[in-house]
Amino acid sequence: MALTTVAELRTALGVGTLYADATLQSVCDASDDVLLPFIWSNTEFAVAHSNVGTVGTLYFDINVKDIYYVGQTIVVENAGAHFSGNKTILSVDTRSITITTSHVTDKPKHPFNPYATVKASEYLDPADVPAIQEASLMISIIAVQSCI
């Protein structure tokens, strides 16, 4: 769901039904694409992985010891079938975490290309922050006005 709704954008612009919903929705979605990367999210990127039996290790190029904790549930994406999905952290080291995988064969450390995404619980919903919603609306308005 976009931070700015089609109805909000229509009202702010005063355009009634001049533009199709799909057109305005694409503007609202583009606004999110521009704005959301600048807002904190509890996401890091794993640069490599290895596996011993059904225990996998995700490696990072930053210190993750103060970011993750044992027992925390994370969502791993873009890490292949054996690593991706909801995972519970088994151990945390300075630049790595271990999780249970569906791998059964040992694999040495090797890189992810592109990096895998590791997401933990977020405590901020941008849709609940009025200043972020207002910024999204302003970006949407400017985008439509620049096309007129």
The pLDDT score that the predictor gives to residue 148 is 62
Alpha-carbon span 136 to 33, nearest angstrom: 10
Residue in this structure with the two tokens 């609940």, named with its chain if needed: 128
Compute the C-alpha angle 6/8/10, nearest 5°: 65
Contact yes or no for 148/13 (Cβ under 8 A):
no
pLDDT at residue number 37: 87
Taking only the tens place, the pLDDT of each residue in 93-146 is: 999 999 999 888 899 999 999 999 999 987 778 888 899 999 999 999 998 888
Tokens of 54: 């059904």
C-alpha count within 13 angstroms, C-beta hemisphere, residue 69? 3
Looking at residue 35, what is its pLDDT? 92
Q: What was the pLDDT predicted at 125?
A: 83
pLDDT higher than 70, residue 1? no
CA–CA separation, 76 and 79 (whole Å): 7
Q: Is the peptide bond before 114 cis (omega within 30 degrees of 0)?
A: yes
Helix axes 130-147, 6-13, angle to 10 degrees: 60
User: Could you give the domains of the chain?
Assistant: 6-39+124-147 (no CATH), 43-119 (2.40.30.20)
pLDDT digits (tens, 9 = 90+) for 11-38: 999 988 888 999 999 999 999 999 988 8
pTM score of the predicted model:
0.71
Which residues share a beta bridge with 76?
85, 118
